[in-house]
Amino acid sequence: FVLIRVIYYPIHRKKDYLFTYFLFNILIFFLCVLLNNVKLSIGFAFGLFAIFGILRYRTEQIGIKDMTYLFSVITLAVINALVSKKVSIAELVFTDGMILLVTYVLEHLWLTRHEAMKQLIYERIDLVKPGRRQELLDDLNERIGIKVSRVEVGRYDLLRDTVQLRVFYFEDEQDHRSFNELAADDDD
């Protein structure tokens, strides 16, 4: 908790990774506890490693949160396949219940607001100067129609007189459609 919530999140502010780190921690803990009670053959251990290795070499792009759910589903399947005399049904039910409860709490009841981020190419390079931060925020608010909470400046392209910006905003503060919907309309 301290590593993820107190050290990592205040600096990086990536809620999807926060969710992933907490859930991976719980899943791996329960998987190791249950696997510790079952004597496994080398073949089964390599098979388990191969299942999780497939996640790394996927062909279709999948988001970090979706990948976490995929890992969760695989973990639950492996855990539930371990029914034996050494692992009781009560232990499996408790483990499944805890994984589902932690997932629900992290997904629905977590006390952080979701700060979304979009990357933009911005041509008003004069507003990117440190002394004009509020003007930059006001211009972005006006032009893209969302309430921007903060901006990170990326790479400058002085030939085109543009700069890459990472624009952060809270989805629950928006008066209308999300930035994703606005971007989809622009693509049409």
Block means of pLDDT (10 residues each) for the chain, 188 residues, are 69 72 78 68 63 61 70 76 76 88 77 77 92 93 90 92 92 60 45
Looking at residue 4, its amino acid is I
Which residue from 55, 185, 62, 65 is spatially nearest to 116, judged by alpha carbons?
A: 65
**Cα distance between residue 82 and residue 72, in whole Å:** 16
Helices 42-56 and 64-80 meet at what angle, rounded to 10? 160
Q: What 8-state DSSP symbol labels residue 127?
A: G
Q: What is the pLDDT of residue 48?
A: 65
Q: What is the pLDDT of residue 134?
A: 92
**Cα distance between residue 101 and residue 91, in whole Å:** 15
Ordered domains of the chain (ranges, CATH): 2-109 (no CATH), 115-187 (3.30.70)
